[in-house]
Each structure stands twice: as structure tokens, then as C-alpha cells.
Amino acid sequence: MHDSSYYVPAAAMAVALVIKGPSVLRGRRDPLLRSAYALMLLAGLVFFFAAPPTIGWVNRATGVSNFSVAIVYSLLSAFSASCLVLLINWRGGPNTRLVSRRWIAGYAVVIAATVVLFALGDAPVERRRDFDTYYANTPYMREMIVLYLTALAVANVSMTVVCWRWALKVSGWLRVGLLVMSVGFLSNIGFAAAKLIAVNARWNGGNVDYLSTYFAPTLSAAGELVCAIGFCVPMACQRIGDVWSTWSTYRRLGPLWRELRPAGDHGHRAVRIAWWAPAELQVTQRESDIHDGMLALYPYFDPEVRARAYDAAVAAGSGPDRARAEADATMVTAALRARADDPEGKVVSAPSSASAKAGGPRDLVGMSVALRRSPVVATARERIEAGAGTASRERIG
């Protein structure tokens, strides 16, 4: 990776932290939200402090050669713990807090040991890229390097196992996200393995430093990116799916809404929401218009029309739910015709008109679909229109 490449993901994490900050403050008691925010924060810090220019600046500012190494290794251990805690809180289940605290305590010990080993060791020559292999045979530094790589490998192996086991029990976008995260964690295992191979080669007099200096950082960057995508996939796709489902409901309600809207117009202009309003509000507005129209038609609803239509739908092979929707749609069609034939509103003013409200809750989407596609509703509509035409001719005659 180039020196400036480290700052790109660090900046991306900083932007995400600023955007998510208010929601985290509002939900600061939510362990899942807190752990997700901690993960983003630590990921950004890892990339920032691992950048060679930052390493040089930290070393100069502290006056201690390679002081930034202790910071980066400690941040990597903290990041590993945060990934584990996030997965544990995300999955939930019994003893979530206890397991999270154990992992945090374990990696806190690793971080403390890293600092102690760095203080005991001697690393006078600044190495911004190849510290692991350059000091592979230096007392205390050697143990510190092995400790942080082992801790990193253990965390990523554990996360891979958790993701695979969890993925076998779930489906949909959550499974996709878990499998993607598994690939990212495997990449991080490859990072630790490449580093350990290079260090081991140094112990045995060999030199494969390129694995540690060039190959491993690339694996790490790819792993972090893939893990981030895996975390985002279930949430983003679930949100997209919810929006798509809501707009689909809005569209499917269209035929019934257009059919009933004139009936619900009582001579005043209803308050309309803006076209850019959220999809949920658009659906609510459309349902409200439909209910207003049905309220105006209640006096004209004929239970016998509904019963005949239900029997016809069942005879045509419709299930109970679909047959009820087709019967309701047929009753609405007949009520609209009856209302049109009653311009003076005599039925509305009749004392017995309120009894027509029986029928219970109705499937508005099913009714709307039936208006457009049901042959039972189409046949009933033709019969009603034909009857209305005959009655009109008789009145004229």
C-alpha cells in the first residue's frame, strides 16, 4: 500500500463516525450500537496510526524510536476485541454481556503485555514498514510481535467460526453478510499468517520479508474492506427491501384508491403530503383516502352481493383469503354503481343504512389487486353495468 492509501479508509471511517454520532448519543444504552461505533472508531485509528507518515510523526513527537509500534499493535488488539464484541451483541442470546466482558478482559491483558514488552525491549532504529522482520530476533520485541500476531489470528479464527455457525442457522441477507464477513476474517488470518511466516524465516536465517512488508498489508486492507461490506450488507439490503416493499404496496393500492377517491371527496380539499415524503407516509395517505371512500360507501354495501361473489370466487378455485378480497372488491364495485344511481342520497339518510357496516377488517391490497385482475370482479362489473343500462332505458321509456 502507498503511504497515502492508509488515510482513505481512515477518512471514510471519520465521516461515518460523524454521521452516526447523534444516533449513538441517543441510543448510548444500546450495546449493539455502542460496539458498532467502537469498531468504526478503532478501525479508523488503526489505519491512521499505521500510515508510515503518522508513524514517523509519532516517533518524532514522543522522542522514542518506534513508539508508534506499541500504539498500532495495541489498536489492532483492541480492534480484534471490538469485532468479537460486535458479533456477540449482534447475535444476542444468553450470557452476552458476560462473554463480551471476558473477551474485552482477555485483550486488555494482551494490550498491557504489548506495552510492557515494548518497554523492556530495545529498538533504537526506526522501521516504518518492516519492524516485524527487522526486530524478529530481538529479545522482548520478538515476543511482542508473536503476541500481537497470535492474538489477531485467534480473534479472526473465532469470528470466522462464529460467522459460519451463525450463517447455517439463518437465511436471506443476514446469511450473505455473515459469509462475506467470513471472507474478510479469513483475509485477516492470511495477514497474520504471512507475518508469522516472514518472522519465522528470520529466525531460521531466511528472508521472505516481502510477505510481511508488502503482501500482508494488502491482505489486511482487503480484509477490513470486505468485513465492512459484510457488516453493511444485511442492514442496507434490509432497508432497501423494506422501502421496495412499501412502494410496492403503494403501487398495488393504486386501482382501489383510484376507484374510491371520488367517493371520498366530500367537497373539501384534503391535506396532501409532499411527493418527496417517505414511502410509509405515502402509503398511509393512500390508505386514508381509501378508508374515506369506503366510509362514504358503507350505506350502499350489500352483503348478498358479497356472499354471491365469495361463492363464485371459491368455485373458481380461489383460497379463502383471496376469495374474501374478491368478494369485497365486488361489493365495492356494486356500491359505487348504487351510489351513482342515488344522486339525492336517499340511502344515506335511511335509518337502516348504518347496519351495512358489518364485515370486519378488509385486505385493501388484495381488494385492489382483485379489482384489476379477478375474473369474478370483472364479470360482476359487467353484470352491474348491464343492469344499470337496462334500468336507465326503462326509465327513459
Per-domain residue ranges of the chain: 3-249, 256-396
Cα–Cα distance, 153 to 159 (Å, whole number): 10
Out of 39-48, 146-155, 207-216, 227-236, pick the least confident.
227-236
The confidence band for 380, taking pLDDT boundaries of 50, 70 and 90, is confident
pTM over 0.75: no
Q: Rounded mean pLDDT of 289-311?
A: 88
Burial of 218 (0-12, 13-18, 19+ CB in 10 A): middle
Residue with cell 483475509: 187
Helix (H, G, I), strand (E, B) or coil at 66: coil
The cell for 30 is 444500546
Average pLDDT, the chain: 84
The confidence band for 348, taking pLDDT boundaries of 50, 70 and 90, is low
Neighbours of 36 (CB within 10 A): 21
In the predicted structure, residue 317 carries a pLDDT above the cut 80: yes
Cα–Cα distance, 265 to 81 (Å, whole number): 61
Q: Rounded mean pLDDT of 112-138?
A: 92
The confidence band for 355, taking pLDDT boundaries of 50, 70 and 90, is very low
What is the predicted pLDDT for the residue at 78? 92
Tens-digit pLDDT profile for residues 129-188: 889 999 999 999 999 999 999 999 999 999 899 889 888 888 888 889 889 989 989 999
Residue with cell 500476531: 149
Residue with cell 448510548: 28
In the predicted structure, residue 274 carries a pLDDT above the cut 90: no
What is the predicted pLDDT for the residue at 394? 45
N-term to C-term CA, the chain = 92
Most confident of 168-177, 190-199, 257-266: 190-199
Q: Rounded mean pLDDT of 46-68?
A: 90
What is the predicted pLDDT for the residue at 357? 46
Cα–Cα distance, 291 to 51 (Å, whole number): 61
The confidence band for 97, taking pLDDT boundaries of 50, 70 and 90, is confident
Tens-digit pLDDT profile for residues 21-31: 777 777 777 77
Cα–Cα distance, 117 to 110 (Å, whole number): 10
| CA distances (Å), origin 183, targets 58, 163, 196, 267, 386 | 33, 10, 20, 62, 66
Write the CB contacts of 138 (distance below 8 Å, at least 6 apart in sequence): 121, 122, 123
Q: Which H helix or E strand runs over 329?
A: helix 320-340
In the predicted structure, residue 269 carries a pLDDT above the cut 60: no
